[in-house]
Each structure stands twice: as structure tokens, then as C-alpha cells.
Structure 1
Amino acid sequence: MKKLLWSAVLLAALSACSTVPVKESGAPGPAAAVPEGPLVVPALSALPDTPARVLQGRYAPVGWQNLPGWSADDLSHVWKGLLNDCRGLMRPAGSLASPARANPRAWQPVCQAAVQSGLGPDAPGDVVRQFLQAQLRPWRLELASGRPASGMVTGYYEPLIHASRTRGGVYQWPLYATPADLLTIDLGSVYPELAGKRVRGKLEGKRVVPYDTRAEIAADPARQPPVIVWANDPVEAFFLQIQGSGRAILPDGSVIRLAYADHNGRPYVSIGQWLARQGAMPLAQTSMQNIKRWARAHPDRVQQMLNVNPAMVFFREEAITDSELGPNGAYGVPLQPQRAIAVDTRFVPLGTPVYLDTQRPGGGPLRRLVYALDTGAAIQGAGRADFYWGTGPEAGALAGRMKQTGEMWLLWPTAAGAPSAR
């Protein structure tokens, strides 16, 4: 009882530093990246029987024929995703930042069968379908009432910007590395009942105080963290922060990835809503393109606009080893374009293959196998998902128009019973 009381007191005392998340979509902080090279599946006895994590969803087993459009989904490019997913599932428990992952012991026989199948990244779709149907069973995600858990499906993407390692000319807008004085306090590591609760701040004497806002960082050179690159467009740099990661084309033509590293812990505030309140444009027209036009017309007010949002994302530089794959999601597994989603891990454990039934922006069905590899501050509720479209302007245009309802089925090892998490 005393421990629970002290936990509540501690959480309240630190709440001024804000709990974690922080970019509008994507991960609050990635797990250790999956190892490269051949998939190694440990023996079942080598996987620790870690404590179970209670899922809040209700799951009903169904047949494959109940998945709308399942037989029409082209699975010729999903085997790479399955092997990467198994790399994540088979990691030691201590390498994962979030406890909300699919039960690796349930998945060990499936991942072992995947290795023994001898299938490669370009395995034919029909062969992949036969493997999945032999190894897995669909479970419909439902509400407590037994009705399908229909939720909102939005989209996100990996922006592409132009930037330089040195400041000069058009390259004036910094993208920062993690500051040395940023503290990230994982309350769940000390108090299990607060699992998933993190606060960010810095030391001021012997006190932990909220970390600097965007405006404070911009106004004081002494508070500015190391700069990785200088972008040529403030709005493009801002939207890269909202997405949480992106690619930067350098003046010599080389491309690097700016991957999410951390966050200042401040709440996200919409600059679009601020522009609408200022009478600059109607709220319905606050697209990235219109915000960029406003910024070009009002260069003296750009920093004022950016400072409306106190949140600041910090990055780390990564080499791009596979141009087809996106950044690592919260699960530490690379996001495959149009085959990955962010989920609410209270209902869908990370690492779970999911069959998604929703609509494309502009109309038409979007029904396909995806992997639950990411999370997001705005991704809350049963059936809620954020669909990863890929890299660049076209993916960004689709992601920006994505706001449809959808349903999902968890694809779970046949012999393991209902979906479970560790």
C-alpha cells in the first residue's frame, strides 16, 4: 500500500516534466534495432518465461475466409517483413524498451518453421499465403459488446528534405541531436505498476525541472544541442519532427536518415490551429503546402509560428542500408512501406501480424497484411491504427489524406491460443 501511494506521489511530482510521446505519430522511443544477417531462432527453452501483460482487447477466432479480400492480397513482398518481425520477436526481453510485445514463446515455433522453409525475400505470394494459413489463425479484434472494433485509420510517412552539415545560404534551420543534459526517467523500471510511464526533464541544482521549450532553445545559443544538419526549409524541418524521422539529401547528393532519438517532453501544439486563430487561413486549409506559402510570405514571423509548438524532437544520424525500407519503428524493426502500422499496444502487441480492412484516400478498398511495428501518442483505442505509406512527397500526400475507418484481425500462432503479450 505504501509503495503504491509513493508511486502516485512520484508520478504527480514529475508530471510537470510531461509523460513520454511525443511525436504525433510513430514511436515514443525505439527498442534496440533487430540484428542484421540470417535469422537465428533460439530454442524454446532458451526464451525466458517473462511475466504476462494483460491485453484489454476481446478476440474472436475466425476462419481465413472471413477476412475480406484475403485471397486477393499480393503477398509476394511480405516475407522480408516476416523474417524481420521474427528477429524482433526472438530478441532477449531486456533489449526491448516497451513491455508491450507479442509473446515470443508463442511465436518461436512459427519463426523456426520460417527458417526451415528455405523461402527467400522474393518468395511467391501463393507460397507465403500457404505458409501463413498453415501456421497462423485470424482473431478478430472486438469490443466488449462483441461487435468488431472499428477504429480510425490515419497515415504517416518518412519526409525527404534538403539539408547541409554546415550552416550557410538557404541552410538555416537546425535539426538537433539529443542534448547531453536531457533526463529520461522510466518510472516503470522502479515501479512496475507505472510501466510505460516516462518523464523528461533536466537537473536544476538538485531538482528535476521540465526541459527547455522550442522557443527557449531557439532564443539562447547556450541551450542549443548539437546540430546534425541545417535544413533549407523551416516548415519541411518542422513536419519532419512531427513524423519523427526522415531522410536528408546533402549537397553532395548523399542521403542520410534522421531517426527519432528523444524528445523534450513538452506537449505537441498544432501550428495549423494557431494560423487559423490568427486569421491567416481557414483551419480546413492548413496543409503543409499552405503553411509553407504563408511562411514564405511572412519570413519575419516564421520563428514565432514554430514557437507555438513547445515540443522538440531530437534525432540521431543513421546510414541507409536498405533504400526500400523506412526507419525503425517503436519495435526496433524497419518499417516496410504499406506493410506496417502503428497501434495501441493495450490491444495489439508489437510484433503481431495484422490483417487490416480499410479504405484508400479518395476511395477504394485497402485490405492487406501489415505488421504492428510502431506506436504513437495519438494512436489510442481498439481498432485505431496509423498506416505507414513510405518515403517522400507522394507518400506524404497519401498520408495527409488518410482518415478512414477500419477493422483488424490479429494473425496468431495456431497452437498458442488467444493473442497474448509479455
Structure 2
Amino acid sequence: MVHQTIAISTTKASKASSKIRPMSLSLSTPSVFKRSAFATRWWGVSAALLLAILGSLPGCSSTPPLDEPSSAGTSAGTPPADTRALPPPITQSKSRWVAVPWSDLPGLEQDALHEAWPAWLRSCERNQPVWARLCPEVRELAKAAPEAQRDWMRQRLQAYRVESHEAQTSGLLTAYYEPLLDASRLPKGDFRVPLYAAPSDLGKRKPWYTRQEMETLSAAKAALRGKELVYLNDPVDAMVLHIQGSGIVRVSEPDGRQRLVRMAYAGTNDQPYKSIGRWLLDQGLVRDASWPGIKAWIARNPARVQELLWSNPRVVFFKEEALPPGSTPPGPKGAQGVPLTAGRSIAVDRESIPYGTPVWLSSRGPQTSLNRLVLAQDTGTAIVGAVRADYYAGSGPEAGELAGRLKQPLQLWVLWPR
């Protein structure tokens, strides 16, 4: 899943919840955004709005015996001391990992580790040799108490602080989410904005046509004819989907039935991503380029929406994926090739942190404070650098509100096999 980030806030926002709960999706769920008179809405990336993604951990054959966890100090809430010498740093293409004692990880004793275990198990479905020895143990601990999971991590893993080659330890955290939008299978009424499957000549022409050219040039229109998957009733919604990289749509079928389907990432036109929030700032049109600020500008300037949208030439093409029965669909697949887990998956620069790596994330800002175990399972075009992460907030309006505003300092520690 490919996404970009749109939160570019220059004003202080109200505090949002740090507990991200995926929205329960049903055919009767009301539209995520309330529509203004001129019918424009938007979607928010990676993000944290402005959304795509990575790969992997293995299945394993033999299971080494688990070390007996130490209980020293745990009854009083104090972790056992680790007297082992720290290993030397590990160098990656865009980062350096510096070994630290586990006591350096803020909030380790308070995190509900069991909430991260499903994401870890999904990463273990991928074949990554470095984790082959430990994935069977990860599976065995899936239903263990958080205290046992914490003890195992201390014994079997080493914590490394992630920093740049220039020893910069602080970076940036943003967030992205998966929107829920209404759609029609056929163009009718206000539903006239198509989401396209990839055109047949996409690989022959690089870069492909820009967003503006796709809407104005006859050659581009001809190449897209018959590639329409569904129609939305708002061009800003379509832009949001292009930014986030995937979304869930409630489709009205020709026979009158409705069903939920996922519009999953299937490629791009290879044009550069341009932030519409940055365009508004550069034009001097807004001072707050968070998603709420962008929506407020759109409401005041409906005649300039097309100009705003054309400022970003990048377009995402989609493929339709059926959703399993149930009120809460699994997350979209990230770059690692596994479904993302709300609040426990992050997008990273894979030249800094390999896909499938468990990571300790710490971030404190005006939106939320986070100290938690997450898995590196995705990437995005705007997610570049040693200490950089995009936090998958989940689906629905609460996740969208956080994703549209979250932009705050970040520290990361990778947890690597000893």
C-alpha cells in the first residue's frame, strides 16, 4: 500500500485519544465526513494522509527451548537487571543502530504488549531468515500474559536506538488511515468521479499522464475507458484515496444491493507527489494546513477546488478486493504483504529498518503520547530517513481525525535477535 502524508499543521490542535480503535464498519454506517453544499470532501496519510508499503518474516521448522523467564523484581513492577555486555552498533544504509539497555525504552512496563502480538504473528507469516529461529517462540507466546511476553523479549532480543549516520536520534511521526466512502458501480446522480484500475499501457509510458492530463487530454481519457471500478460523488474524496493508497467503499450495485469492498493499491502514474497542504501554504491561502484547515479552505473556495487538486499530479490506480464477513474488516496489506493492524503497524524507510522488524515507538506531542510496541510493515513515498515513521491509525472517523493532525517528534528502537 502506497501513501503520502498531508498533515502540515502550523497551529496547535486539540488533544486526540492515544487509543486507536478501528471503526466497526457496516452497510448502515453513515458517511465518515459530512458534506458541504458544494459536495466536496477529503481523505487523509499518511499521510499521514498523503498513502504504500513493504516485506517480511518467516515460518519456521524447529522450536528451540524457551529460556525460563526470570521473575526477579517483576512482582514489584521492577524489571530484572540485565548484566550482559552491550553488542556493537549495527549499520544500515540510512541509519545506525546503537545497543541500549532495556531500561532506556520509555513506557515498556505499561504497554499492553498482547495488542501488538497479532501484528507480530502476521509478520512471522513472511519468510525472513533472521527471524526463523524466534518466530515459533513468538507463536507460543501469543496467549501469554504481557509480563511473560516482556520477559521473553528481554531475554531473546536486544534493543537498539535508531539514529542517523550523523547521530540524530529524533525524527518525525505522522499517521495514516483507511477511509470509508460511499460509491456507485455506475455513474449516476452526483456519483461521477471514477476510481480507475491500472491502464494497459501503464508500463509503456513512464511517467504516465498527470492528474490534469487524465481529465483533459483525449488520449488519456481513451486509455482509461473501461477501467472505471466505482464512482464517488466528490473529487476531494478521490484525492484522499490517492493519498492514502487504499480505502473501503460502500458500493451501491446496479441491482440495488450494497456491499463493502476495498479499493486496494495497484500502482501509480509515476508522477511526483505534491502536497496540497504545502500548495495552500506556499500560495499564502492558509496558515493551518492540517486536514481540518484544508477542509475549511475548501468550504470557503469551492470554485478553486479543481486548481487545488491539479496541484498534485500523482494518481493512484486501484484493484478491488473482497472483504471477509464481519463488522471489522482486516486492515489493508502493507508493503510487507500482510494486513496492517490498527495502532500496531507503522510505515518506515526500509533502508533504515527492514520490514517485519518489531520496533519500540515513543512520541509525545499535542495530539497524543505513544509508547508502544509496533511492527514495521509498510512504507510510503514521504516516509524517508532514519527516524521516520507513519503510524497506521485504523479505519473510520476517529482514526481519520488523528491521521489528519498527527505530526510530532519521534524516537525509535529496533528489537533485534541476540
Question: Are 2:149 and 1:132 equivalent residues in the alignment?
Answer: no
Q: Does residue 1:71 correspond to 2:90, yes or no? A: no
SS of 1:285's equivalent? coil
CA distance in 2, matches of 1:275, 1:55: 34
Is 2:56–2:123's contact at 8 Å kept on the other side of the alignment? no
Of 41, 46, 49, the residue aligned with 2:60 is 41
C-alpha deviation, 1:63, in angstroms: 2.4
- Quick one: distance in 2 between partners of 1:378 and 1:29? 10
Task: Answer yes or no: is 1:399 the counterpart of 2:403.
Answer: yes
CA distance in 2, matches of 1:265, 1:163: 26
List alignment gaps of at least 5 residues for structure 2. Answer: 6-45, 64-90
Q: Deviations over 1:150-172 (max 9, x none)?
A: 11111111122111111111211
Post-superposition Cα deviations, 1:254-293, rounded to whole Å, max 9, x if no partner, equal: 21111111000001123334445666x32x2344445445
* Richer in helix (by share): 1
Does 2:340 correspond to 1:335? yes
Q: Quick one: distance in 1 between partners of 2:95 and 2:110?
A: 28
2:386 is matched with: 382
- 2:122 counterpart residue number: 84
Deviation at 1:352, TM superposition (A): 0.4
CA distance in 2, matches of 1:254, 1:127: 42
1:55-111 Cα offsets, whole Å, 9 max, x none, are 3422222222221110100112222111101112x2xxxxxxxxxxxxx22211101
Match of 2:31 in 1: none
Bigger mean CA deviation after superposition, 336-345 or 249-258: 249-258
Stretches of structure 1 lacking an aligned partner (at least 5 in a row): 1-20, 45-52, 91-103, 184-200, 203-208, 415-422
Distance 1:264 1:354, change over 3 A: same
- Cα drift, residue 123 of structure 1: 4.5
- Give the Cα separation in 1 of the matches to 2:149 and 2:289: 43
Distance 1:140 1:288 in 2: 32
Contact 2:54 2:378 in 1 (8 A): no
Q: For residues 172 and 298 of structure 1, what CA distance do their matches in structure 2 show?
A: 21
Let me know the Cα RMSD of the aligned residues.
3.0
Aligned positions of 1:242-281 closer than 5 A:
242-251=243-252, 252-275=257-280, 281=285
- Alpha-carbon separation, structure 1, partners of 2:56 and 2:414: 23
Q: Distance in 2 between matches of 1:396 and 1:342?
A: 16
Report how far residue 218 of structure 1 moved. Answer: 1.4
CA distance in 1, matches of 2:280, 2:53: 32
Instruction: Give deviations 1:369-419, integer Å, cap 9, x for gaps.
Output: 0001111121121111111111122111111221111111111112xxxxx
Report the 3-state secondary structure (helix = DSSP H, G, I; strand = E; otherwise coil) of the residue aligned with 2:412.
strand
Cα distance in structure 2, aligned partners of 1:29 and 1:291:
22
C-alpha distance in structure 2 between counterparts of 1:134 and 1:114, whole Å: 13
Displacement, 1:32?
Answer: 8.2
Inter-partner Cα distance in structure 2 for 1:339 and 1:181: 37
Secondary structure of 1:386's partner?
strand
Q: Would you say the 8 A contact 1:175–1:227 is kept in 2?
A: yes
Partner in structure 2 of residue 307 of structure 1: 310
1:412 aligned to 2:409? no
Judge conservation of contact 1:22–1:263 (CA < 8 Å) in 2.
no
1:345 aligns with one of 346, 350, 353: 350
Provide closer, same or farther for how the CA distance between residues 346 and 371 of structure 1 changes in structure 2, counting only shifts above 3 A. Answer: same
Contact 1:259–1:315 under 8 Å retained in 2: yes
Q: 1:61 aligns with which of 90, 94, 99?
A: 99
TM-score normalised over the length of structure 1: 0.72
Q: Distance in 1 between matches of 2:262 and 2:390?
A: 21
Indicate how the Cα distance of structure 1 residues 407 and 291 shifts in structure 2: closer, same or farther if over 3 A, else same: closer
Pair 165,289 (structure 1): closer, same or farther in 2 beyond 3 Å: farther
Structure 1 position 30, deviation (Å): 5.1
Q: Does 1:173 align with 2:177?
A: no
Rounded Cα–Cα distance in structure 2 between residues aligned with 1:411 and 1:110: 12
Deviation at 1:113, TM superposition (A): 2.2
Contact 2:54–2:355 (8 Å) recurs in 1: no
In 2, distance between residues paired with 1:273 and 1:148?
Answer: 25
Residues 22-49 of structure 1 deviation map (CA, whole Å, 9 limit, x = unaligned):
7444899656899xxxx842469xxxxx
Deviates more, 1:210-219 or 1:286-295: 286-295
Q: Secondary structure at the match of 1:71?
A: coil
Q: Secondary structure at the match of 1:266?
A: coil
What fraction of aligned residue pairs are identical, expressed as a percent? 41
Q: How far apart are the structure 1 equivalents of 2:271 and 2:174?
A: 23
Contact 1:151-1:384 within 8 A present in 2 as well: yes
SS in 1 for 2:125: helix
Instruction: Tell me how far apart the structure 2 counterparts of residues 276 and 28 of structure 1 sit (CA, whole Å).
Output: 21
Query: 2:214 aligns to what SS in structure 1?
Result: helix
Q: TM-score, normalising length from structure 2?
A: 0.73
Secondary structure, aligned partner of 1:250: strand
> Residues 369 and 23 of structure 1: is their aligned pair in 2 closer, same or farther, counting only changes over 3 Å?
same
Aligned residues: 339
Code of the aligned partner of 1:107: W
